[in-house]
Chain A
Amino acid sequence: MAACHIAPSQSFLAAFLPVARAALLPQLPRSTSRSHVASRIASLWQSRSSLLPAALIPIPGILEGLWEGILRAVPKKKTSHMKKRHRFMAGKGLKDVTALNKCSACGKLKRAHVLCPYCVQSIRKWFGNGFKTEAEVKAQKDTQWDEMNERLQKAGRKPLLKEDVEDLAKT
């Protein structure tokens, strides 16, 4: 697209582009009493009867420094795919865990210098129930249920069924 090199009007420059204005019209004296932004805001405020919508005219005195910051800090171009990928792939990815070895007690893979989680959980369980096998634990629970139901029947009440209580426990 051919750029048309017509310099923008003085009023436009005065309103929006103080840097461009200074570059294009260097001989203009700068106002030492007020800053660029302050004088610009004042001129905008005066020219609010013109085409500018009210939302674009900042209220003078509140946003001076902030306006300068907002105007300056802006990305010049969309970051290219290459730069974006360089930023993501700069050694920031997840690293593989290679410090692995075999558990001496159960033979499963485990992290080095860390106890095997299966062994730890099993041993803690067996510490708790006195090294009973699962079959023994189940048998013990069944006898407990039977004893409780016997007691209930002797007291003349309905026996509890394991299935009913298990359903309640799940919900």
Chain B
Amino acid sequence: MAGGLVKYRKLGRTSSHRKALLRNLVTSLIEHESIQTTWHKAKEAQRMADKVITLGKKNTEASKRSAMSKLFRPHDILPRLFGPLAARYADRPGGYTRVLRIEPIKEDQAPSAILELVDGPKDMRFAMTARTIAKTRTNEQELNDMTRANIAKVTRYRKDADGELEEMVQRFERLEEESDEGVEEVKKKRVYPKLERSR
């Protein structure tokens, strides 16, 4: 059909390869709470991850079987999915994952993204908001509208949100005191072989 939208991305792979890729991405996400990949893969994996977490929240025998068919290493991953993650997202109506754009991680400059579980221990937006608050406090400035909106977002469904945010802000303030800037140079991962030059 000319000019119609696709229902899902093909990602340049055959059906079986694509299925395996998405399963691997979602399994890694549940295991590590935050993964870095290309933006397009992250958007596709986000759909599957949200659906798998919905199965975890349902917590029936049928949903367990369904989740087992959609993930790899079920013995390691299913306890996490039906335990801590189901409890974490009990009150949240959908939107359990977040895709944040980042600079390309590899030297092929592919548009990259972080796919993360919201309200988790590796929540990047939570950490960035905390670091922003720490910086505004050290500079004795007022909080921005955008920062206020971000604070509302990250504290909405999180348990003990204010306490955790304050704790993280203090961690960043301590790092700032020790004048620890973090990384000075951002290196991209190698993709192409390093060739000898004749000159």
Contacts and interface: CB of A to CB of B under 8 A. Distances in A.
Q: Do A and B bind? A: yes
A73 B26 CA distance: 55
Given A115-B114, A127-B127, A133-B178, A104 B135 contact: yes
B6 interface: no
B124 A123 contact: yes
Contacts of B178: 133, 135
B189 interface: no
Contact of B102 (A117, A122, A131): A117
Interface residues of B, number: 26
Interface string A101-122: 0001111000101110111111
Contacts of A126: 171, 175, 182
B121 A125 contact: no
Contacts of A113: 101
Nearest to A104: B132
Contact of A127 (B103, B122, B175, B181): B122
B9 to A, nearest CB: 20
Interface in B133-163: 135, 144, 146-147
B5 interface: no
Contacts of B147: 104
Contacts of B184: 118
A16 B184 CA distance: 70
Contacts of B100: 115
A164 interface: no
Chain B, interface SS category: mixed
Interface string A128-140: 0001011100000
A122 B127 CA distance: 11
Nearest to A127: B122
Contacts of A123: 124, 127-128, 131, 182
Interface string B166-189: 000001001100101111101000
Given A105-B131, A106-B131, A123-B127, A118 B144 contact: no
Interface in B91-137: 100-103, 114, 121-122, 124, 127-128, 131-132, 135
Interface of B: 100-103, 114, 121-122, 124, 127-128, 131-132, 135, 144, 146-147, 171, 174-175, 178, 180-184, 186
Interface of A: 104-107, 111, 113-115, 117-123, 125-127, 131, 133-135
28 contacts: A104-B128, A104-B132, A104-B144, A105-B128, A106-B131, A106-B181, A106-B182, A107-B135, A113-B101, A114-B101, A115-B102, A115-B128, A117-B102, A117-B103, A118-B186, A119-B131, A120-B114, A121-B186, A122-B181, A123-B124, A123-B127, A126-B182, A127-B122, A133-B174, A133-B178, A134-B180, A135-B178, A135-B180
